[in-house]
Structure 1
């Protein structure tokens, strides 16, 4: 029971803080600026949620091109903390290589789940609150992923199938990642 409660609480922390770190990394990679159209509120939340870990890492880890390595490493360290605590609580013998590898898969799964969530929420907000700041923020995040599908899919008037195709592609990726994870960790 303690393990399950710990897993739930740690997953919530990893999703919130690790996800915020990944969003910062993603935003730098795609040159997304939240300063436009009132996005200052959202960016201030992201900064206050992540600066405590990213700023010290940024002193040692400079960005590599468009990749914000400090944000990526911060998200990975948060995922590693979750895996380490759960490993400790399980009482299993420590296997450092497995913990490090599980941290990578935790990060990949967090990113893929975040994409699915962002696309779903963006779709729903487009129906009801297309002028909200949060919709603008999600549109900025999902547009770089949707655009390649929009370029390939035929135009169907007012119907945009790119979110559906992106969701299918991400779910296929989740299946592939889960199979690779099982193969490597078993």
Structure 2
């Protein structure tokens, strides 16, 4: 692979993954009813609104889910994969059916990664800066709380030590191994093509 192709791959992967992450965060913020006055939430809303507002006229919410954000994340995932394959030299003979399936596998993998890294950030922050009012930490806690709270409520009292993040880590790893990786193998997904895997 030439140096120009490597630079192209770097740009496509970096920009594409950041856009995909922002769109997926918009979906998750809507899902958990996070504080939209948070400065980071405001950035995500302003970044995604130019595309999402027109999309919402055509794609209605289903059962309270922001399906327009989810569809936009899927489209971004497909576009990033297509751009990656083109820059890598695959030409225009792209495996479209595979790309559409790989993008479907990539979205839940990305959500699992968001929760995994969010948990790591909150655990480290609880040691380094407990009771911090950083907008990013507040937002991460709002995203994680609906997943962690039910487990925390069922855990026995451990003397003030919260072990629920460990349980969530294990569940994320089990789902990734048993479902996501198996689907990636079955569909013969190339490594590094889908953001989130």
Which moved further from structure 2: 70-79 or 3-12?
A: 3-12
Would you say the 8 A contact 2:148–2:168 is kept in 1?
yes
Deviation at 1:5, TM superposition (A): 4.0
- Kindly report the root-mean-square deviation, in angstroms, between the aligned alpha carbons of the 2 structures: 2.0
Task: Tell me the equivalent position of 1:131.
Answer: 133
Question: Alpha-carbon deviations, 1:124-179, whole Å to 9, x = none?
Answer: 22233322222211111110111121122222122111111111211222222011
Would you say the 8 A contact 2:35–2:139 is kept in 1?
no
**Correspondent of 1:181 among 178, 181, 184:** 184
- Which runs of 5 or more residues in structure 1 are unaligned? none
Distance in 2 of aligned mates of 1:6 and 1:84: 13
Would you say the 8 A contact 1:34–1:137 is kept in 2?
no
Task: Tell me the equivalent position of 1:59.
Answer: 57
TM-score (norm 1): 0.87
Task: Tell me the equivalent position of 1:24.
Answer: 26
> What secondary structure does 1:175 align onto?
helix
Distance in 2 of aligned mates of 1:32 and 1:170: 22
TM-score (norm 2): 0.83
Distance in 1 of aligned mates of 2:112 and 2:15: 17
Distance in 2 of aligned mates of 1:4 and 1:15: 16
How many residues are treated as equivalent by the alignment?
182
Would you say the 8 A contact 2:13–2:84 is kept in 1?
no
- Which runs of 5 or more residues in structure 2 are unaligned? 190-197
> What secondary structure does 1:103 align onto?
helix
Deviation at 1:78, TM superposition (A): 0.7
Structure possessing the higher relative contact order (Cα contacts under 8 Å, 6 or more residues apart) = 2
Distance in 2 of aligned mates of 1:70 and 1:91: 30
Task: Tell me the equivalent position of 1:163.
Answer: 165
Would you say the 8 A contact 1:18–1:79 is kept in 2?
yes
Distance in 2 of aligned mates of 1:10 and 1:149: 38
Correspondence list, 1:41-120, <5 A: 41-89=39-87, 90-91=89-90, 93-120=93-120
> What secondary structure does 1:32 align onto?
coil
